[in-house]
Amino acid sequence: MNGSNPSGSERVLSIFEEISAIPRCSKEEERVCAYLRRRTEAMGFSVRRDGAGNLSVRVPGSVGCEAAPTVVIQAHMDMVCEKRSGSDHDFSRDPIRLVEEDGWLKADGTTLGADNGIGMALALALVEDDTLARPPVELLFTVDEETGLTGANRLEPGFFSGRVLLNIDSEDEGVFTVGCAGGVESRIRVPVAPTLPEPGAIECCIEAAGMRGGHSGVDIHKQRANAIRVLCRALDAILRTVDIRLIDLKGGKSHNAIPRSAAARFACPADRRTDAADAVRALARSVRLEYADTDPSLTLTFSVWNPEAGGSRTLTVADTFRVVRLLLALPDGVLAMSKQIEGLVETSCNLASATLADGCLEVVTSQRSSLMSRLEEATRRIESTAALAGGDAARHNAYPAWEPNLDSPLLDRCRRTYRSLFGREPAVEAVHAGLECAVIGAACDGMDMISFGPTIRDPHSPDEALELASVKNVWAFSRALLASLAQKDDD
């Protein structure tokens, strides 16, 4: 069997291109689900869908391999939908426009969706390859992974039978993931009381933009700027000398993406406009220096929105202080590094989104930790901070950590298969991101799991890129691994 099979990897990319033409933001997976169903039913495979919208496809083993243990190949249908400022892309209808550049596949101004479109493409290509000796396979395509592992959490008992699971949702070729952090979202609500602005005020705006953002798990240790935090530092700088009154504020979008832009509108005494602008300019110089390496395109600007403020209701000065101070006090970034695994983030928090509108400040934070006690501590810290600001925080989309099993038979087989193909030892690691393996493993006793995939850089941001050479390697490895799993023993 020729493990390299370059025509096979080209087939994977061709399927990925088809998937990229289908809008599939989280909670909007109907069209991609219909595509997967049509394609697999056309091959004669048995397809089921559960109440959550997850899809299971049963594929018989190759001739002579029917009695081998069933292998589950798992990927998620949704993608994070982020775009650059000024992009006219409509994620509800427009295809992702693919661009190949220097051995990498990117998108034109948006997230690429290789997380996890390439996983679906690999899974389909594997079961459509009639030259491959493979065991019985169950394809498991889940919904709404990116907003809280919803599909995995709602899997129906008996929806699949296999107890060997290959999750194709990791982002470094040559690395096998055997553990991940647990996580939870906090959704904070703080009531405020809009009122009429003071006479003689003007409407001004601060915008923080141009930041790189990224995945709140795999990129959190890179110390990139959080646009909400930068914006609130600017508001705080003004409030030290000028009594401004917030009108609205908005920043961030996805719980698992580091915010790249944020803006606030406020009423400012007309005779203090220059003081406010000077405070923002001074801070802009500082933050550009702070983030020169990580966010070289960062901008922080002050402008006059309206020379009058009579048409907009504002917060009181006291409520403005309360909002800004809460957003400054909430934790953001790495909170602790692992003491067991060098270089691994143990606990973190992403200040993911903030919206001030209709008499309420709403904030979403996303906490992760490989230690559930530390996850609880970070979440209680957020709840306490919200209470001190006169608000409350509710928990959503909690999921457990996946504890590594270094004695896993599947891991041993993967290592041997990789060595035989490429002549080098693969890396084995736990990650700070959340993976559906954690939820599936907690619900299914005896599940032997591993996660792998081609190299993807900057997921969850418009800089997302897929390394084409790594797709070829993962295709070769996946075929060889399935062929090995189809055998009756390890010989």
Annotated active-site positions, please?
Answer: 78, 145
Region of residue 213 (phi > 0: left; psi between -120 and 50: alpha; otherwise: beta) = left
DSSP codes joined into one string, 77-145: S-B---B-TT----TTTPPP-EEEETTEEEESSB---HHHHHHHHHHHHHHH-TT-----EEEEEES--
- Which uninterrupted H or E stretch holds 457? strand 456-457
Q: Are the CB atoms for 123 and 106 separated by under 8 Å?
A: no
Amino acid letter, 216? S
Q: How far, CA to CA in Å, does 375 sit from each of 149, 185, 441?
A: 17, 11, 19
Amino acid letter, 199? P
Question: What is the spatial distance between Cα 422 and Cα 419, in angstroms, rounded to a whole number?
Answer: 5
First to last CA, the chain: 16
Cβ count within 10 A of residue 149: 23
Amino acid letter, 459? P
Closest Cα to residue 483, out of 49, 85, 159, 137?
137
Q: How far, CA to CA in Å, does 3 sit from each of 6, 11, 77, 476?
A: 9, 15, 27, 5
**Residues 6 or more apart whose Cβ sits within 8 Å of residue 162:** 69, 70, 71, 72, 136, 137, 138
